[in-house]
Structure 1
Amino acid sequence: MFLILTLALLPLGLIALVASLQAIRTADLEKEALLRVAVTQSARKLTADLQSDRTALELTVNALAGPGGETSICQRLELFLTSHDRDGGRFYIYDRRGRRLCASSAPEPAGIAIDNRFDGTNAQLLPASQFLVSRVRSSDGALVGLAYYSRAHLESVADPATALQNRKLTLRQGNARMVISRPGSAPIEGNSSSLSARLDPPDIILTMTVRDPPATIARMLSLFLPLVMWFAAAAVGWFVVNRLLIRPLVLLRRSVAAYHPGEVLEPLQKVRTPAQEIVALGETFREISEDVATHEAEMAQGLETQRKLTREVHHRVKNNLQIIASLINLHARSAHDPEAVEAYASIQRRVDALSVVHRNHFAELEDNRGVGVRPLVSELSASLRGTAPAQARRFGIQIDADDLHISQDVAVPIAFLLTELVELAMMLDPDGAMQIAVRGVTGRDNRALLSVRSSGLRASEAMTIYLAERYGRVLTGLSRQLRAPLDHDAEAGGYTIEISVIP
């Protein structure tokens, strides 16, 4: 369809294109020729004006530099310059010592330092003061004459005879640039053209910028005809392409975007005339969605089976731990030796700690968040108080923990670490108490600080013996499992260790 439309509109398009290009080219050539004549004429007028004034200034400087120079020649120079400069013809003549020998009545514009009067080019732009200065030295180099030309005078001299609207005249000398057009003139907006011409001295360049001519009726018609042709072709092409391609593709994209795994796509049920390629693409999506739905059902069934197996494993582990605890309890009841009873109780506390970790891990298994620190420490503290020795029944445990979660690999050594420290504190100070705190480390989301403080954990001879015999090696091994040093504050009776948490 696009090929047929292109071949049908090709002759008209070529005719309109050739006519439009010819009209635009003719207008551009006329504009460029007019601009070239204008800028050349303005440059010649400025050069002629500067040369005539320069000649008069040179005669005056040489006359004053000669023996018995006449000062009356300054008056003749002022009359000459004033005759064609409405600003008064500013000129100033100095000797090497800086004395002003001759000058016009108007004050000298700023811009040339005293030490630079004899230096520099024959003509110099002063953008800051909006003047052009012409410099003439006497033949013997003893005097220098400076003639200043204001922006208004330069514009009046450079005004071309051709009627150019919205023109802009600019003088440029190296990096110095001075606009000599009227400050209040309208700025040139839109497209513009610029041409330059050199003045004498050749280091000053005059640039004329004019706005492109406004669009005429002929130009508008030549441009409008291709637009009408393009619009007609685009409208017909859009209708055909939208009906056969775009609308079916949009519906197909919406159906695919709204697709959820497990559904079967039927994206082209509401479209009557789609292209055959779109129909084939829709069928492909439907077949893919059927395969995905089948795989999703199989994966859901496999996941449910895996969940049941995991529950069964946890249930059996829980039963095994309960059986071990019951066996230890039965042996403890048949023991009569206090040391044996205490040994059984110590083993019982560690099995209970492992059981507490397992129960909390199983409780958080569905959410996959790890083991909650607060419920783990609370349940473990209750279990330790329940199995405490008879002399430590009043041993108190205070808990202050943030809402943090840890992995099972971290929960097991933490449970054993707390069990060891609580048991050690109960043996050293049965009537005391313990504070357990777990706080997140500021600025580190994956780290927390576990601190245990009790009066029984202060430095003493009995504590040194217990640590040397058993507890020291166990605490060191648990800190290695946690991959962090276990710090002991002997004076305050506290242990601190940094642990990893789940962000």
Structure 2
Amino acid sequence: MFVLLTLALLPLGVVALVASLQSIRAADVEKKALLRIAATQSARKLGAELMSDQTALKLAINTFAVGRGDPDMCHRADSFLRSRASSDTRFAVYMRDGRRICGSYDGWRDGIPPERRFDPAAAELIPHRGLLMIRTLSNDKRLVALTFYDRAYLDQVTDPASSLQNRHTLLQQGKKRMDIGGVLAVQGRSVDSVSAPLPPTDITLTMVVRDPPVTLARALSLFLPLVMWFAAAAIGWFVVNRLLIRPLVTLRRAVAAYRPGEVMEPLKRMRTPALEIADLGNTFREISEDVATHEAEMADSLERQRRLTREVHHRVKNNLQIIASLINLHSRSAEAPEAVDAYASIQRRVDALSVVHRNHYAELEENKGVGVRALVSELCASLRATAPSGAGNASLLVDSDQLYVTQDVAVPVAFLITELVELAMLTDPGSTVRISVHSAEEAGHATLLIASAAYRASPRMHAYLEARFGRILTGLSRQLRAPLLYDENDGSYAIDIMVNG
């Protein structure tokens, strides 16, 4: 619809636009021609006036040069100039030695330095004083007549016979410029200018005409085709917007706000959509119904899987408890101290694995991983409960950030803490063990530090490491893929572990 309406009005709009442009172009050409004629006529008229004055002054100064001049000649020359020009037009005659022969008799001084009175230039603009100066030399070059014309006279002479609206006239000589009359051109509005030489000087007369203000009739004649075209576009836009664009926007918003499991009815409240848009909306509604059905089926499947996972974790937890109970029963029936210690050592490791499993299951719903702080705290409580004989009063201090690790990291970390705590309890039962886990500078890493006075270098410590703990600690550090750093002077073990996030 929009294209049809636009094409229907296009020929009429083009014809009206071409006619308006031709009329404006013809008016511009006519204005340019009138401006050229006016500038040429004004330059010739001013040049003729200047040449006439120069001729009269040249006759007078040549008479003075041959010694035939008299005071009345200056009066006659002054009267001649005042009769042709305004009362502000003045002249003065000088000799090369600087003496003034005669001039205007009103006490006026020209202010031209003596060294510049005999310059070769026939004419000179004095913009700051608003004067045009004409030099006239005698035949023997010993006398010079300086004539000064003001703006009023120059504007009067250059006023064109034809009436030009918004005219502005100026004289230019090199970089010098002097406005002599007319209306100044306004910035921001286009102007036309024409220049003409001013004989017999090197000065150029430039006439500028500012474009008249845009009237309502001129604007209507120019913009009528655009108004017609805009009306067609507005009608087309209304029709297209009502039937096509608004339904499409509504459909897009409904699709953007769609959530899986919902049923979309994007065009339920629209009464005037195009048939194709209505069919598209119905298609989206059918697709959303299918997606909602599939989402419900997937939710049921996920719930069944969650229940199955819970059952598996429950059975694993029960099995670990059964193993721990069996180890506890066997340890009670054992008579040899070595067997009791062995059962206790095994039970501590089973408890460590059970602690990891319980914490992993606790964080399974949120999928964050195993909480390090809770893991270490529960593991220390279990180690205190199953401490070797003589180490029941062992002190375990925990300082950990709120960090999370995967189960693959949690298991070797739990076994590593168990081994090192047991090593400290066996080496020095009354010692204090400090366990700290803090974030490292590198993202995704943390430092596990276990310190105790029992870890300082001693024969007993060296014997336990050689007998069993050294190989186990090395194997656990390989599982964590980081070196286990041992400081025998401070009595500490440190290792870098991977954390989530």
Please report the TM-score for the alignment, with normalisation by the length of structure 2. Answer: 0.68
For residues 281 and 486 of structure 2, what CA distance do their matches in structure 1 show?
70
Secondary structure of the equivalent of 2:297? helix
Q: Are residues 365 and 228 of structure 1, via their aligned partners in 2, closer, same or farther at CA, if it must alter by over 3 Å?
A: same
Contact persistence 2:450–2:493 (CA under 8 A): yes
Aligned counterpart, 1:498: 496
Aligned counterpart, 1:14: 14
Secondary structure of the equivalent of 2:390? helix
1:455 has 2:453 as partner: yes
Q: Name which of structure 1's ranges 404-413 and 478-487 shifts more when overlaid on structure 2.
A: 478-487
Q: Following TM superposition, by how much is the alpha carbon of 1:361 offset from its aligned partner in structure 2, in angstroms?
A: 0.4
Aligned counterpart, 1:432: 431
Aligned counterpart, 1:350: 349
Report matched runs for 1:23-38 at 5 Å.
23-29=23-29
Contact persistence 1:189–1:211 (CA under 8 A): no
Q: Following TM superposition, by how much is the alpha carbon of 1:498 offset from its aligned partner in structure 2, in angstroms?
A: 1.7
Q: Which amino acid aligns with 1:419?
A: T
Q: Name which of structure 1's ranges 286-295 and 30-39 shifts more when overlaid on structure 2.
A: 30-39
1:476 has 2:467 as partner: no
Q: Are residues 39 and 289 of structure 1, via their aligned partners in 2, closer, same or farther at CA, if it must alter by over 3 Å?
A: farther
- Regions of 4+ moved over 4 Å: 27-44, 72-76, 86-91, 160-169, 177-182, 185-189, 191-199, 206-213
Q: Following TM superposition, by how much is the alpha carbon of 1:36 offset from its aligned partner in structure 2, in angstroms?
A: 8.0
Question: Percent identity among equivalent residues?
Answer: 64
Secondary structure of the equivalent of 1:485? coil
Q: Are residues 198 and 309 of structure 1, via their aligned partners in 2, closer, same or farther at CA, if it must alter by over 3 Å?
A: farther
For residues 167 and 420 of structure 2, what CA distance do their matches in structure 1 show?
94
The higher-RCO structure (CA 8 Å, 6+ apart) is 2
Q: Which amino acid aligns with 1:23?
A: S
Q: Following TM superposition, by how much is the alpha carbon of 1:8 offset from its aligned partner in structure 2, in angstroms?
A: 3.8
Secondary structure of the equivalent of 2:262? coil
For residues 467 and 42 of structure 2, what CA distance do their matches in structure 1 show?
110
Aligned counterpart, 1:298: 297
For residues 166 and 432 of structure 1, what CA distance do their matches in structure 2 show?
108
Contact persistence 2:10–2:229 (CA under 8 A): no
Secondary structure of the equivalent of 1:357? helix
Contact persistence 1:23–1:219 (CA under 8 A): no
Deviations 1:472-495 (A, max 9, x none): 121122122222222222111111
Q: Following TM superposition, by how much is the alpha carbon of 1:304 offset from its aligned partner in structure 2, in angstroms?
A: 1.1
For residues 448 and 42 of structure 2, what CA distance do their matches in structure 1 show?
90
Aligned counterpart, 2:400: 401
Q: Which amino acid aligns with 1:315?
A: H
Q: Following TM superposition, by how much is the alpha carbon of 1:394 offset from its aligned partner in structure 2, in angstroms?
A: 0.5
Please report the TM-score for the alignment, with normalisation by the length of structure 1. Answer: 0.68
Aligned counterpart, 2:142: none
Aligned counterpart, 2:225: 226
Secondary structure of the equivalent of 2:366? coil
Q: Which amino acid aligns with 2:459?
A: E
Q: Following TM superposition, by how much is the alpha carbon of 1:408 offset from its aligned partner in structure 2, in angstroms?
A: 1.0
Q: Following TM superposition, by how much is the alpha carbon of 1:308 offset from its aligned partner in structure 2, in angstroms?
A: 1.5
User: Max radius of gyration: which structure?
Assistant: 2
For residues 87 and 423 of structure 1, what CA distance do their matches in structure 2 show?
118
Q: Are residues 381 and 194 of structure 1, via their aligned partners in 2, closer, same or farther at CA, if it must alter by over 3 Å?
A: farther
For residues 252 and 409 of structure 1, what CA distance do their matches in structure 2 show?
48
Aligned counterpart, 1:53: none
For residues 196 and 492 of structure 1, what CA distance do their matches in structure 2 show?
99
For residues 323 and 450 of structure 2, what CA distance do their matches in structure 1 show?
29
Q: Which amino acid aligns with 1:396?
A: S
Q: Are residues 9 and 463 of structure 1, via their aligned partners in 2, closer, same or farther at CA, if it must alter by over 3 Å?
A: same
For residues 208 and 468 of structure 1, what CA distance do their matches in structure 2 show?
112
Q: Name which of structure 1's ranges 10-19 and 409-418 shifts more when overlaid on structure 2.
A: 10-19
1:318 has 2:326 as partner: no
For residues 484 and 451 of structure 1, what CA distance do their matches in structure 2 show?
13
Q: Which amino acid aligns with 1:388?
A: A
Structure 2, unmatched stretches of 5+, are 45-94, 103-108, 118-150, 198-204
Q: Are residues 73 and 399 of structure 1, via their aligned partners in 2, closer, same or farther at CA, if it must alter by over 3 Å?
A: farther
Contact persistence 2:331–2:339 (CA under 8 A): yes
For residues 342 and 244 of structure 1, what CA distance do their matches in structure 2 show?
86
Q: Which amino acid aligns with 2:15?
A: I
Q: Which amino acid aligns with 2:344?
A: A
Aligned counterpart, 2:146: none
Q: Which amino acid aligns with 1:295?
A: H
For residues 238 and 304 of structure 2, what CA distance do their matches in structure 1 show?
55
Aligned counterpart, 1:275: 274
Q: What RMSD over aligned residues (CA atoms) do the two structures have, in Å?
A: 4.5
Q: Which amino acid aligns with 2:313?
A: H
Contact persistence 1:402–1:440 (CA under 8 A): yes
Contact persistence 1:440–1:448 (CA under 8 A): yes
Q: Which amino acid aligns with 1:321?
A: L
Contact persistence 2:396–2:433 (CA under 8 A): yes
1:419 has 2:418 as partner: yes
For residues 216 and 248 of structure 2, what CA distance do their matches in structure 1 show?
43
